Amino acid sequence: MITWGCQMNVYDSARMTDVLRPLGYTPVDAPDSADMIILNTCHIRDRAAEKVFSELGRLRLIKEERKASGRETVIAVAGCVAQAEGEQILARAPYVDIVLGPQTYHRLPEMVARAARAGGAVIDTDFPAEQKFDFLPEDAAPQTSGNLTAFLTIQEGCDKFCSFCVVPYTRGAESSRPMVSVVAEARRMVEGGVREITLLGQNVNAYHGQNPDGSVCGLAELAGMLSDIPGLRRIRYTTSHPRDMDQALIDAHRDMPALMPFLHLPVQSGSDRILKAMNRGHTAAEYRALVLRLREARPDLALSSDFIVGHPGETDEDFEATMQLIRDVGFAQAFSFKYSPRPGTPAAGAPGQVPENVKDVRLQALQALLREQQDAFNQSVVGRVVPVLFTGTGRKPGQITGRSPWLQPVHVDGPQSLIGREVPVRLTARFSNSLSGSLTEEYVRA
């Protein structure tokens, strides 16, 4: 299984592994020893399709070498590139056996059988009426880090149609899993040792799952139910949209200790003119006001965000508005990118395309400011005692590593018996992308 892209693709890859297990398949570490190779693709960034075809060229050689020694290899392309470019994949890479979109991987066993019977390629990029989650095995092995943290998809698709984004076309309309299904899977994860769950969705705070009585369950209500699961210490969620951050969810950040004080809330731009061109549905002032409400509810809340520089029509003044929003809000972490045209999106053919050299200069300036803010935030927690969930061993002998409430990696000298536990740690130093700490004296004596 070769996985590119977001955490949802990581989750999807794990579930594809689950649905194939009854057929006798088990994961292997290298493609040259695999009877089936699945490339789970992402269509968000520039030249995504070309990267897929480059990788397929490498896999073709493996398939031919194995065939020469009498071993067959099934190559499948899954995910968002498969959804968007399915027919082109089969035309340019006829040695591919299966092409499937992100909404159809529950049908993967059937596709394997059809490919074997027909001896030709199978493609399934429909948006089926049934929810794939209703057809997945319940005894799934969660995608975890040391079986302590896990991703759990609760919502898929998007109805926002931002001008730059392909998600509505590759993942479909917004769809939420029933509450009972989500809670049941979370319980299985916790029973398997998971202590932190990150809820996933393209617009995860638009979650509107059905309750058993037919009423609608929002993300705040769902988080409350999950927080009642014995053994589940931490809940996170990503990715959010400002338009879907309701008061109930803001209150949950205030009232629910298990809900971590770290929120990914993409804004993309600080210019109202560009936000309108992006079809974001909010203004810079509305975003600032939302941040104030969140910080009033949870004063220790840290924010991360997404930024795009060089959207068609962006002027120097628009870019400066984005820089000012960053200065005003302050971010602990952020992801920033140059705008790249995605085929079929409104912005791809819009006038006022920004030259690449201008994008480069703006991105460097924006990333320098964001890096300065990240360093400042990490420095601000040095000296504090915070709970750290230990998830594994560090690079040095006698070292263990974990995550702070704000998702920072933390390294501590301590016994491996603490792995899987949430322990108070005094943060002592900041490094480029991590923190070091020490167990508190009170804890050691206890």
Which has the minimum average pLDDT: 98-112, 130-144, 408-422?
Answer: 130-144
Q: Is the per-residue pLDDT at 54 higher than 80?
A: yes
Q: What is the dihedral of CA 13, 14, 17, 21, to 10 degrees?
A: -170
Q: What percent of the chain has pLDDT over 70?
A: 93
Give me 240's structure tokens.
């959010």
Please name the residues in contact with 1: beta carbons below 8 A apart, sequence gap of 6 or more: 13, 16, 17, 27, 38, 40
Return the pLDDT at 138: 61
Q: How confident is the model at residue 143 (pLDDT cuts 50, 70, 90)?
A: very low
Give the Cα separation of 234 and 257 in Å (integer): 8
**Which tens digit of pLDDT belongs to each residue from 317-351?**
999 999 999 999 999 999 999 999 887 889 998 99
Report the distance separating Cα 24 and Cα 34, nearest Å. 13
Are 335 and 307 in contact by the 8 Å Cβ rule? The answer is: yes
> Is the model's pLDDT at 446 over the cut of 90?
no
Task: State how far the Cα of 78 lies from the Cα of 2, in Å rounded to an integer.
Answer: 10
Residue 266 tokens, joined: 């993409």
Q: Is residue 420 within 8 Å of 410, Cβ to Cβ?
A: no
pLDDT band at 106 (very low <50, low <70, confident <90, very high): confident
CA dist 112 and 262 (Å) reads 41
Lowest-confidence segment of 126-130, 146-150, 206-210, 258-262 by average pLDDT: 126-130
Give the pLDDT confidence of 277-305 residue by residue, as tens digits: 999 999 999 999 999 999 999 999 999 99
Reference 388, options 372, 370, 413, 408; nearest CA is 408
pLDDT at 135: 57
pLDDT at position 119 over 70 = no
pLDDT score of 28 more than 90: yes
Which range has the worst mean pLDDT, 51-65, 98-112, 410-424? 98-112
The CA distance from 411 to 376, in Å, is 19
- Grade residue 145 by pLDDT with cuts at 50, 70 and 90: very low
Least confident of 31-35, 56-60, 100-104, 154-158: 100-104
Alpha carbon distance 301, 419 (integer Å): 25
Label residue 142 by pLDDT band (50, 70, 90): very low
Mean pLDDT of 17-33: 89
User: What integer pLDDT is reported at residue 344 of this predicted model?
Assistant: 81
Residue 121: pLDDT over 90: no
Contact yes or no for 393/401 (Cβ under 8 A): yes
pTM, whole model, 2 decimals?
Answer: 0.82
Residue 56 has pLDDT above 50, yes or no: yes
Residue 103's pLDDT is 80
105-114 average pLDDT score = 84
What's the whole-number average pLDDT of the chain? 90
In contact, 358 and 384? CB cutoff 8 Å: no
* pLDDT (average), residues 30-59: 87
Output 129-136 pairs: Cβ under 8 A, ≥24 positions apart.
131/175, 131/177, 132/103, 132/104, 132/105, 132/106, 133/106, 133/177, 133/181, 134/181, 135/106, 135/107, 136/15, 136/18, 136/19, 136/106
Q: Is 387 helix (H, G, I), strand (E, B) or coil?
A: strand
Residue type, 368: A
- pLDDT at position 360 over 80: yes
Under 8 Å between Cβ of 337 and 308: yes
pLDDT, mean of residues 74-93: 88
**Which pLDDT score, from 0 to 100, does residue 110 have?**
86
Beta strand 98-100 with 122-124: parallel, antiparallel or unpaired?
A: parallel
pLDDT confidence band for 220 (50 / 70 / 90)? very high
